[in-house]
Structure 1
Amino acid sequence: MNSQHVTFQNHNMNWPMAAQVLYPDNFDNNLIYPTVISVHPFGSCKEQTSGAIYGKALAQAGYVVIAFDASFQGESGGLPRYLEDPSQRVEDISRAIDYAVSQPFVDSNRIAGIGVCGGGAYIINAALTEKRLKAVVGITPVNLGRLFREGFSEYNPLGVLTAMADQRTIEAKGEALQVNELLPPSPTIATELGLTERDVYEATDYYKTPRGQSKGGATKMLFSNAQRILSWDAFAFTETLLTQPVMTVIGKNIGAFGAYRDGQEVYGRATASKDRQLVELDGISHYDLYDKDEPVTLAMAHILPFLEKHL
């Protein structure tokens, strides 16, 4: 399997997007290939699970894969840095598809999308209006808007919005930006601080150790500009607009970030889909599905037949 680092322009916002294109073995530039757009989690980057794990597995199965960094994050452009903007994240997916269909080796009629964690919800949301996506897979998908309105705001979204407004006013007057670190610096410190809830601890074990740590995966967020997350719902209008085949893959070991709940919700609401599938994996947690061999193998055993059927 070969890969190539590329950039393409986000014409709406006039900055470059960085991506890793992964090619199947024996790739032939004169042929056309089914292609998968791979979307990274919140606080992640293309070099982590979206590219190194699922991107690699899909390329080995014969797909061209485009794993890209979100705007304001990783190696992609956009200022200020560490901004998480759901509408921009979804627009980024369309820009990645624009790049894909401009390549002579991409079959524009056979493009699918996958995403992990927040990326899983983003790819599903993109499919509501982006009909160049012929099928989508949400791997342990998390509806970031729902999570921010609930656990991330300690169930006080209005209080958090007020704090964001105050901070944004301070910054508009010339003070430093407030960039919040999302995780403890190590699993040991997480334990010392009593942050042992499954998803929080396992996120720390992935992002803050050599297991998954990457320079581009900053696990930081610009606090003052995150208001739009609180009013965003990844699954709004799913009943009427999500017509493409959709699969959600979730582990039954439930954590506070709510992927199990969100994956169930997508399946329940996607009544207009041509083929909706829910995959529940026993004894597996949210972060197991990021990179652990057995969970990823089990997930791919469902994902590959699904994509083959629809591409």
Structure 2
Amino acid sequence: MAWDIAALVLYPPGFDKSKQYPTIVSVHPFGSCKEQTSGAVYGKALAEQGYVVIAYDASYQGESGGSPRWIEDPTQRVEDISHVIDFAVTLPYVDADRIGVIGVCGGGGYVLNATLTEKRIKAVVGITPVNLGRLFREGFSNFDPIGALNAMAAQRTAEARGGELQVNELLPASPEVAKANGLTERDVFEATDYYKTPRGQQPGGATRMLFSHAQNTLGWDAFGFAELLMTQPMMVVVGQKVGAFGAYRDGLEIYGRSTASADRQLVELQDWSHYDLYDKPEPVGLAMERIVPFFEQYLEAGASVRSEALEPAE
């Protein structure tokens, strides 16, 4: 069964349909959507720098298709990236030889994983990247991955027999609720402040997960075979204020393991945390100071003119 993937295509200033542009696919975090940090922050900033940017909703999430809803399947999330590239290379104003990817949080883990095998990607940036497989095996399963898998198996059987779906809400309803329940660990509280307030809240950003269909996540590793397969230029941006979701740890791991990369770069921001890098102007600005020249070097920013008249896709 096939379904549509919903996307925002962001154009650079002075967009000219007769030219070809370097293009960046922007991938949202776990529990997020295209209207949040992947599109409204990094996508917008990169479009302003001369790129066509495609920010999309993952399968089963946001405005994209797929049923049942709120499945977080890393294999599908990575496959989505290739499907979006399939779409991009059909657009006459996209230069198929100058495609990069950027992802935030779980999306950062997904773009790094996709780059291992998707060689149409010429450069990759992971913003505070999280290896969702590692996080699910550890904190998200209370360090009991086998117990979690057994519970998922039982719930999936119950649902197959007609029982109600178990959809887990991932965050407290508000920062106030988080404080009242002692949920003040940095990443949990700052995630709540982003996703559950006007700061970042969006209709498509449902911080939910269908529990019974999460088995694949526990058996997945974003960084498997990185030493052999990460050949493209790669950059990871992490904040040194660490939290329970482990982006700092994961960022350093993939940087250390990407020994075959044509150019690996690690950007550490001393005074900033995981969720600061979602949307706060100063840390995002510091990140962009490194991201822009990185993509310029490897995607050769600046449109090349084509002779024939071209019509942009709807």
1:135 corresponding residue in structure 2:
123
CA offset at residue 279 of structure 1?
0.2
- C-alpha offsets along residues 147-206 of structure 1, whole Å, 9 cap, x if unaligned? 000000110000000110111111011011000000000000000000000000000000
Matches within 5 A, 1:34-53: 34-53=22-41
Residue type of the partner of 1:17?
A: I
1:229 corresponding residue in structure 2:
217
Alignment of 1:174 onto 2:162: yes
Residue type of the partner of 1:162?
A: N
CA offset at residue 240 of structure 1?
0.3
Alpha-carbon distance in 2 for matches of 1:172, 1:87: 22
Runs of 4+ in structure 1 over 3 Å off: none
1:253 corresponding residue in structure 2:
241
1:57 corresponding residue in structure 2:
45
- Higher relative contact order at CA 8 Å, sep ≥6: structure 1 or structure 2? 2
Matches within 5 A, 1:52-201: 52-201=40-189
Alpha-carbon distance in 2 for matches of 1:267, 1:89: 21
Pairwise CA RMSD: 0.4
Matches within 5 A, 1:282-301: 282-301=270-289
Which blocks of at least 5 consecutive residues in structure 2 are unaligned? 300-314
Alpha-carbon distance in 2 for matches of 1:94, 1:228: 19
Could you state the TM-score of these two structures normalised by the residue count of structure 1?
A: 0.96
Aligned residue pairs total 299
Residue type of the partner of 1:104?
A: P
Residue type of the partner of 1:136?
A: V
Alignment of 1:31 onto 2:2: no
CA offset at residue 86 of structure 1?
0.4
CA offset at residue 14 of structure 1?
1.0
Could you state the TM-score of these two structures normalised by the residue count of structure 2?
A: 0.95
Alpha-carbon distance in 2 for matches of 1:277, 1:25: 28
- C-alpha offsets along residues 31-64 of structure 1, whole Å, 9 cap, x if unaligned? 0000000000000000000000000000000000
Residue type of the partner of 1:232?
A: W
Find the residue that maps to 1:294 and give its secondary structure.
Answer: helix
Alpha-carbon distance in 1 for matches of 2:6, 2:18: 24
